[in-house]
Structure 1
Amino acid sequence: MQKAVNEGNTPIPIIDLFSGPGGLGEGFMALRDEYGNRAFKILMSVERDPNAHKTLRLRSFYRRILDKNKGKAPKEYIEYTLDPSEKNFDKLTAKYANEYKQAEDETLCEALEEGNDAHVNEALKRLENYPNSPTVLIGGPPCQAYSLVGRARRTNEDRESFENDERQTLYRCYLRFIEKIQPDIFVMENVKGMLSATRKSQKIFSLIKGDMEALGYQLHSLSTESPSSPLDYLIKSEKYGIPQARHRVILVGTKISKRTEIACLKPQKMTTVNDAIGDLPKLGGEFSRRNHPGFSSRNKFLSEAQERLLSAVRDDKVKEYLETLVFDENERPIKSSTKLEKPSIYQRWYEGGFKKQTIVLNHDTRAHMAKDYERYLFASAFTQVHDRSANLYDFPTYLLPEHKNVLGIESGKEIIFPDRFRVQVSNKPSTTVTAHISKDGHYFIHPDASQARSLTVREAARLQTFPDDYYFEGGRTSAFQQVGNAVPPLLANQIAKILIDNLNTNS
């Protein structure tokens, strides 16, 4: 627990911009002081996406309920998250009407725009109630324009339209809040591509750094005490106990006049995919008999797919592993509500308010094409024995996708995206969970070959370190997007601990 900053244990106010589903804010709000009170308080969060806003609002609401119920999730919340009907929502909000009204006031479903100070003025108005408190600003402007993948896809587009993309200038909205609010500390998160992106032939990172210094702020690296290049501001999450190789730029700014020093994040023991999701109930991918005629069950289909693979695969180790798999045609599908074991890592963190609950939220599988089930079966079996994900050069010929760029693979020609089917290796941190997971599961195949499927929203959320009681609104596709775009809450919590120590010292 952290030492309290202000007399009377008043939490430090936060303004949270471009909030998404709330990953960054969750890490700060989870921090408690020495008396068990929340060390921070979000006064205002702003998110334009309706579904992400609903998630953000529900989480804000739920935190207030937890504080009222001594950390235990009430049955009304559980009923709503298991069946998010209007009836259950009304029942939940009616019982905790004051808490819901406060959550509505805190979370704004609105767009931030350069040149419009309405939100800045609203933040200043809310901060008037904390005249003697330090202030923290957090957030991450939308990052698609800086994304290395996004930029690669736009190489054939008009260069001027790329440089004028509003997502390249939205950081100026964040800058305006710094200018007007004058926070004691700010935290800004973005993608690695920001370090190499340019705007009108100037490096984006240099522009941002120069603008912040012009406002009287210095930037701090959380990975090294003496940053000498833009890459020193890159945080590699897997170094800090996050079960995911997520590399993001995190800028921490303090006022130059205070000559503040910010400690670096402390390296943590590596956590793996299996550490993060190994205890979750095993599932089979959704299986439609209409889309798979002639097969009465998923297991019957996989059993025959197994036989085809045993005939086609030339890798003896993979064949031996495939032979160990048993697909019982009479086995009933496992449901996501199957009893949940204790997480093997971060137990208190993941369980949240579900201390004695066995339910699992957002843990339902998507449907896959028949051929993809077979590809997933092979790829996950290959990964189990070779400790790496298979690329298309490893696949049996009959499982290769029918794309033009794959045609030359048999002759050994180099192809584009040979890793289009990527299994998450169980004994390593996962690859970066991105919003692309909402489109298909090819890059996020479960390592357990017996399940032969892509990850669920809950599994992706675990890799992002969202607590199990964190419910994502808006359906599966939107939930995947929200998870992929978020900051890992447990990493944000580590940052919050560093900043609270600084605020204690300098307040």
Structure 2
Amino acid sequence: RTPPGSSVGALHIFRASPKYDDTIVIGGPPCQAYSLVGRVRSRGKVGYVPEEDARHYLFREYIRVLDKLRPAAFVMENVKGMLSSTVESRLVFEMLMEDLSSLGTGHAHHYELRAVRVEDGKASLQEAAQPSDFIVHSEAFGVPQRRHRVIIVGIRSDLAGRAADAEIAVSGMARTVRDVIETMPVLRSGISRGRDDAAAWRGEVLDAAKLLAGISKGKDNRALREAFLTVSERVKENPPTVRAASRLPDGYGTSNDELLQWIERPQLRAIAQHETRGHMASDLGRYLFAAVFGTVRGYSPKAADFPLVLSPDHRNWHSGVFNDRFRVQLADEASTTVTSHISKDGHYFIHPDPIQCRSLTVREAARLQTFPDDYLFLGNRTQQYVQVGNAVPPFLAKQIAMLVLKAVN
């Protein structure tokens, strides 16, 4: 494990025997220099020179390990932005592929590079015709998240003949946010400033629902108005609690669903790390609006869709820069990519249930990443969110591991 909150690249070496012939190396260099967000931040730094940023070249440390160990196979993972990142007027990905292709110079064997391809419910390792062939879509493997990453598999040439026919059946069923978080205990958000108790929360949500129902006028907004009134009635009759976090849902651990069998652990007596964070009272109305809008309209609202009364006190709110400042995860679709930014404020990860009026908990984010419920994250809650967001979905990793094992065995 990397330290809590760490964003360094991970390198894992598995050895079945003392011989390097039985070694498989799995990992990837840190992605901050390649990610689109990281590149934007770097451009904003005065005097930033990409060629002087050592992070661009950390992939060579990975290659140095490969050259020393000469493993049977390796798996290299990174963000999709690596395909378009440039340094020294060259694409970083071109430099990477050149270095990987030169592995084995002076040795008996080189490495054949393969892309993970999914077709007709089966995954196999194929030669890539273009860089984009190395992009793996997590949702094609039954992960309830649109997470797209570059994954390169290298097979040592003396073993590559075995890899040609290797394939596995994948869990390619389209999975949604609802599939993995609907059974979680219902929780209300906390209030980060001022009075934080059930009565205060109930009052804030009821006031917001009444206000939004009142301004949702006209034929086009009738469904929104009715939804806000429904929320108001439900909150009055059965408001959620902030203390139901650990309770196991009915039927927990008994599902025949492959993904839930992977996530749920029958031996557990409670669900850990499913506690709400506190939100500003002014944000509760925005979360409520986003969740109702997403339920009724089928997409997350943009800044222009929010009523003026909910506009944050930010001069750039209407500039288009913050179009997706508040994003609800739609219940009947795969989630957007769970990133470490969820540790900051949660605005991009609003729960789809309007009654709960909050962002996702650590455990809900972990479930979208397909971490089993008995996997505990270390450190404080911010560090836990960072670890969840920086991870490769374990359910995806398991399937790629099975494919690589079959390819070299």
Q: TM-score category by the smaller chain?
A: 0.7 to 0.9
Which residue of the partner structure matches residue 383 of structure 2? 478
* TM-score with structure 2 setting the length: 0.86
Which residue of the partner structure matches residue 249 of structure 2? 340
Secondary structure (helix, strand or coil) at the match of 1:371 reads helix
Which residue of the partner structure matches residue 169 of structure 1? 57
Q: How big is each residue's C-alpha offset from its partner over 1:209-243, in whole Å with a ceiling of 9 and x where there is no partner?
A: 11111112221000273421110000111121100
Asked if 1:434 corresponds to 2:347, the answer is no
Secondary structure (helix, strand or coil) at the match of 2:328 reads coil
Which residue of the partner structure matches residue 153 of structure 2? 252
CA distance in 2, matches of 1:259, 1:338: 49
Q: How big is each residue's C-alpha offset from its partner over 1:298-333, in whole Å with a ceiling of 9 and x where there is no partner?
A: 112211211111122332111111111221388554
Asked if 1:242 corresponds to 2:143, the answer is yes
**Is the Cα contact below 8 Å between 1:223 and 1:264 reproduced in 2?**
no
**Is the Cα contact below 8 Å between 1:222 and 1:264 reproduced in 2?**
no
- For residue 154 of structure 1, report the CA deviation from its aligned partner: 2.5
* TM-score with structure 1 setting the length: 0.70
Which of 212, 223, 247 aligns to 1:317? It is 223
CA distance in 2, matches of 1:357, 1:466: 14
Which residue of the partner structure matches residue 89 of structure 1? none
AA matched with 2:154: G
Which residue of the partner structure matches residue 154 of structure 1? 42
CA distance in 2, matches of 1:276, 1:449: 17
- For residue 374 of structure 1, report the CA deviation from its aligned partner: 0.8
| 4+ aligned runs moved over 6 Å, structure 1 | none
Structure 2 alignment gaps of length 5 or more: 104-109, 119-125
Which residue of the partner structure matches residue 281 of structure 1? 185
CA distance in 2, matches of 1:158, 1:300: 47
- For residue 292 of structure 1, report the CA deviation from its aligned partner: 4.4
Within 5 A, what are the aligned runs for 1:388-403? 388-403=299-314
Which of 290, 299, 316 aligns to 2:202? It is 299
Which of 221, 245, 250 aligns to 2:115? It is 221
Secondary structure (helix, strand or coil) at the match of 1:297 reads helix
Asked if 1:200 corresponds to 2:101, the answer is no
- For residue 50 of structure 1, report the CA deviation from its aligned partner: 4.6
Asked if 1:382 corresponds to 2:286, the answer is no
Asked if 1:327 corresponds to 2:235, the answer is yes
Asked if 1:140 corresponds to 2:28, the answer is yes
Secondary structure (helix, strand or coil) at the match of 2:290 reads helix
**Is the Cα contact below 8 Å between 1:220 and 1:251 reproduced in 2?**
yes
**Is the Cα contact below 8 Å between 2:343 and 2:386 reproduced in 1?**
yes
- For residue 203 of structure 1, report the CA deviation from its aligned partner: 1.1
The change in CA–CA distance for 1:287 and 1:159 in structure 2 (over 3 A counts) is closer
CA distance in 1, matches of 2:314, 2:288: 20
- For residue 350 of structure 1, report the CA deviation from its aligned partner: 0.9
More strand by share: 2
**Is the Cα contact below 8 Å between 1:148 and 1:193 reproduced in 2?**
yes
Asked if 1:179 corresponds to 2:90, the answer is no
CA distance in 1, matches of 2:52, 2:237: 57
Q: How big is each residue's C-alpha offset from its partner over 1:429-484, in whole Å with a ceiling of 9 and x where there is no partner?
A: 00000010000110000000000000000000000000000000101100000000
The change in CA–CA distance for 1:360 and 1:205 in structure 2 (over 3 A counts) is same
- For residue 171 of structure 1, report the CA deviation from its aligned partner: 1.3
The change in CA–CA distance for 1:213 and 1:298 in structure 2 (over 3 A counts) is same
Asked if 1:451 corresponds to 2:356, the answer is yes
CA distance in 2, matches of 1:358, 1:183: 42
Paired positions, count: 383
Q: How big is each residue's C-alpha offset from its partner over 1:465-507, in whole Å with a ceiling of 9 and x where there is no partner?
A: 0000000010110000000000000000000111111222xxx
CA distance in 1, matches of 2:362, 2:368: 10
The change in CA–CA distance for 1:470 and 1:303 in structure 2 (over 3 A counts) is same
More helix by share: 1
CA distance in 1, matches of 2:44, 2:208: 41
State, as a whole percentage, how many aligned pairs show the same letter.
42
CA distance in 2, matches of 1:486, 1:379: 27
CA distance in 2, matches of 1:163, 1:399: 44
Secondary structure (helix, strand or coil) at the match of 1:222 reads strand
Q: How big is each residue's C-alpha offset from its partner over 1:178-220, in whole Å with a ceiling of 9 and x where there is no partner?
A: 0000010101110000011112111111111111111122210
CA distance in 1, matches of 2:242, 2:387: 28
Superposition CA RMSD, Å: 2.7
Q: How big is each residue's C-alpha offset from its partner over 1:373-406, in whole Å with a ceiling of 9 and x where there is no partner?
A: 1100011001111111111111110101122222
CA distance in 1, matches of 2:159, 2:327: 48
CA distance in 1, matches of 2:269, 2:336: 28
AA matched with 1:195: L
The change in CA–CA distance for 1:214 and 1:371 in structure 2 (over 3 A counts) is same
Asked if 1:131 corresponds to 2:39, the answer is no
Q: How big is each residue's C-alpha offset from its partner over 1:95-131, in whole Å with a ceiling of 9 and x where there is no partner?
A: xxxxxxxxxxxxxxxx899xxxxx99xx7xx969523
CA distance in 2, matches of 1:229, 1:195: 11
The change in CA–CA distance for 1:166 and 1:275 in structure 2 (over 3 A counts) is same
The change in CA–CA distance for 1:304 and 1:135 in structure 2 (over 3 A counts) is same
